Amino acid sequence: MTGKIFQTFDFTAALPLRTQSANTQRAYYRWVDMYLVDIADLRPTGGDIRLKRMEQLPLKTLQRHLTDRKLHRWLNTLAERGHGRQGLDQARAAVVTLAELMAAAGALDHEVSAKIRSVSVPSVAHNQPPERLLTADEIRQLTNAAQEMATSPNQMCRNQVVTAMLCNMVLRREELSAAKWGDIGIKDGKITLKIEEDFIEMPRTVLLLVDRWRTAITGSTGEPATHSPLIRRIWKGGRVAKDGLSPDGIWLIIRDAARFANMNHVTPDDLRRSSVAKLRDDGVPIEEINRLLRHRSTLITERFLAKLPPAGMIDEPEKTNLLGSEDEG
């Protein structure tokens, strides 16, 4: 389970001892990666690069940063960012499982593992506003605000891409932050974005915005490096940075856009739920919603939909595109 002289820890080899669910394993990898980004200042990863990181987790880094105090602080940070109770429970479980598996392999002190396990999830009620659904009009207000609050054309273009992909492709902010230009490709004759092992079709509206964003990065000619981040930071002068935008950065775009639009607190998770609720209310088959959400079965999707308010909360007639007609770009 560990590398030579305990230099690395193979989480991918150890985790199947706890869960055989591929979906749960991917979720745990995502949370552990986020923990290392937030606590150990590592760069965010996704897809095959994340899997490789999980196969060779740096042991010294884990031993330095896997502590009960740091886990407690991280969970509170997640709550402040707007994560719900279910997400916090899974985030805690991922880190606790990693610590216990390391302890079982002799790579972490059992007392440290026990202290980590004793950490409780913070009370969501005291740390975040209640979850909400946005109407299609509210989503348009927020996406317009994300453009209007920009201080440069490049920032406006970047913000358009972020809101479009969150809404129309039902992405998590962690997935969007980790996406690379090389993840865009053709699958079964359709242009898609590769997320983990799944291929998500990119609507024409999104493709138009991404093409403008590509031009903002490279000019009229050339292509961004395949390994470079799809979503990037913008410097104060408006220049596009080489560094990718973190999940927190994406969260801040949505938060600031909601404030600019004089709306109540809105998170990327609210956009995800609202987009799914609209698809449901429009009569989109559950199999299609399941494909977008990338759940391992329609039963999980049914449970997800059952937690959403009943039909009628989102009242616009358009089908999939929540940002306006394709011609509006």
**Any idea which residue has 């109540």 for tokens?**
264
Give the model's pLDDT for residue 75: 94
Query: Alpha-carbon torsion 270, 272, 276, 281, what sign?
Result: positive
Return the minimum-mean-pLDDT range out of 110-119, 172-181, 211-220, 289-298: 289-298
Region 143-153 average pLDDT: 95
CA distances from 132 to 91, 129, 240, 263, 266 (A): 21, 9, 33, 12, 8
pLDDT higher than threshold 60 for residue 329: no
Q: Is pTM beyond 0.85 here?
A: no
Q: Between 130 and 106, where is the model more confident?
A: 106
Q: How confident is the model at residue 323 (pLDDT cuts 50, 70, 90)?
A: very low
Mean residue pLDDT of the chain comes to 86
Q: What is the pLDDT of residues 48-77, one digit of tens each?
A: 888 999 999 999 999 999 999 999 999 999
Residue 31 has phi, psi (to 5 degrees) of -70, -40
